[in-house]
């Protein structure tokens, strides 16, 4: 663009120079005639006597005529057809100069506009970056809040589900209901009923238990012997049945006590007692495996005695006593 403007400027200068030096119609500059010699010759010729003013006017008239003739000649030469191309170049130079100035004006204006647009774009970019950052931070906060809400909702759902499970699941408890062969030379047995205190039935019910002679009182860290295996029952226990399921646990076949040894368990000073213990397993309606552990023993202190300390039997001749649950060894899971 600067190159083009330089060329236009050179054209303007050339045109202006051509216009200042018009070409004469004779193809060159006009030659002045030696009119002064004629004037001088005329002045040397004697004539009538004139005043100074007349002499000045007479001398001035030929010079003015000469100057007027030169001016007229100059104008005729300037507008002669031979100088037409010079005037055209001059006009084109002037037009080109005006166009160059106008072009420079618009270029300058466009540059100013572009600079302003660049500044606006930079300011807009900074503002857009700030808005984007603020938006990202707000989105992160929203995401964190949504995550917390989702976790809280999930916790509420789990709590509600757990609450429903706890309310509706089956709960099997074991209650001692009788004994057998305490005075006979047979295996001593303890009877239990298994009651469902839940809202739904228990499936695949099974239990294993045994009667063992163990230390009394039982140490807290004592490990109970594993009950023997028994046949699978897979029973069903409905909630709060009027005729609950019954089951018995017995002495081990290879470690039975004599009648005398059995009766000795009711002594106040006994260091050993019968313990009936075991585990019942089942599946609730939610498909969760559950278990109930039980462990009870004869309580020598519960035996009814007279003032002398002798055991009082009932009408059938049975010893009147109670079983006691062992702490931390009975649970419903």
Q: Report the pLDDT value the prediction gives residue 100, as an integer from 0 to 100.
A: 78
How confident is the prediction along the chain (333 residues), in pLDDT tens digits per residue?
A: 545 555 655 655 555 555 455 444 444 444 444 444 444 444 444 444 545 555 555 555 677 777 777 777 766 766 677 667 777 777 777 887 788 778 878 888 888 888 888 888 788 778 888 888 888 888 888 888 888 878 887 777 776 667 777 888 999 999 999 899 988 889 999 999 999 999 999 999 999 999 999 999 999 999 999 999 999 989 999 998 988 999 999 999 888 999 889 888 888 888 999 999 999 999 999 999 999 999 999 999 899 999 988 889 888 888 889 999 999 999 998
Cis preceding linkage at 217, omega within 30: yes
pTM (whole model) above 0.85: no
Tokens, residue 312? 């009082």
| CB-CB contact of 186 with 259 (8 Å) | no
Tokens, residue 168? 């509706």
Tokens, residue 73? 């000649």
Residue 89: CB partners within 8 Å, gap ≥ 6?
11, 14, 15, 18, 19
| CB-CB contact of 330 with 295 (8 Å) | yes
**Phi-psi group of 287: left, alpha or beta (phi > 0 → left; psi -120 to 50 → alpha; rest → beta):** left
Q: How far apart are CA 294 and CA 323, in angstroms?
A: 12
Domain locations in the chain? 1-25+80-168, 172-332
User: Phi then psi for 9, rounded to 5 degrees?
Assistant: -65, -40
Q: How far apart are CA 210 and CA 196, in angstroms?
A: 22
* Buried/exposed code over 195-218 (b: 16+ C-beta within 10 A; e: otherwise): bbebbbbbbebebbbbbbbbebeb
User: Around Cβ 97, how many Cβ atoms within 10 Å?
Assistant: 18
């Amino acid at each position: 663009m600067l190159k083009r403007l330089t060329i236009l400027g050179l054209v303007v200068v050339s045109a202006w120079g051509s216009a200042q030096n018009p070409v004469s119609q004779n193809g060159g500059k006009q030659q002045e005639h030696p009119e002064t010699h004629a004037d001088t010759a005329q002045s040397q010729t004697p004539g009538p006597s004139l005043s100074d003013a007349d002499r000045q006017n007479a001398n001035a008239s030929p010079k003015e005529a000469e100057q007027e003739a030169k001016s007229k000649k100059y104008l005729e030469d300037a507008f002669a057809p031979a100088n037409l191309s010079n005037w055209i170049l001059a006009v084109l130079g002037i037009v080109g100069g005006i166009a160059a100035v106008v072009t420079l004006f618009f270029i300058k204006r466009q540059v100013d506009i572009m600079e302003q647009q660049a500044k606006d774009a930079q300011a807009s970019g900074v503002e857009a970056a700030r808005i984007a950052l603020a938006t990202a931070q707000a989105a992160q906060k929203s995401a964190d809040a949504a995550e917390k809400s989702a976790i809280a909702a999930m916790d509420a759902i789990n709590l509600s589900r757990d609450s429903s499970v706890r309310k509706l699941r089956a709960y099997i408890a074991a209650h001692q209901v009788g004994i057998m062969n305490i005075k006979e030379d047979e295996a001593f047995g303890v009877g239990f009923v298994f009651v469902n205190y839940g809202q739904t039935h228990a499936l695949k019910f099974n239990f294993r238990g045994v009667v063992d002679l163990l230390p009394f009182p039982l140490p807290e860290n004592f490990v109970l012997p594993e009950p023997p295996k028994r046949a699978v029952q897979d029973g069903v226990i409905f909630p709060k049945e009027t005729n609950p399921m019954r089951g018995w646990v017995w002495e081990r076949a290879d470690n039975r006590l004599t009648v005398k040894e059995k009766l000795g368990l009711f002594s106040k000073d006994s260091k050993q007692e019968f313990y009936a213990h075991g585990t019942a397993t089942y599946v609730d309606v939610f498909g969760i495996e559950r278990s109930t552990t039980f462990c009870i023993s004869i309580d020598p202190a519960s035996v009814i005695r007279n003032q002398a300390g002798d055991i009082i039997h009932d009408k059938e001749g049975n010893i009147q006593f109670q079983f006691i649950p062992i702490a931390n060894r009975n649970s419903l899971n």
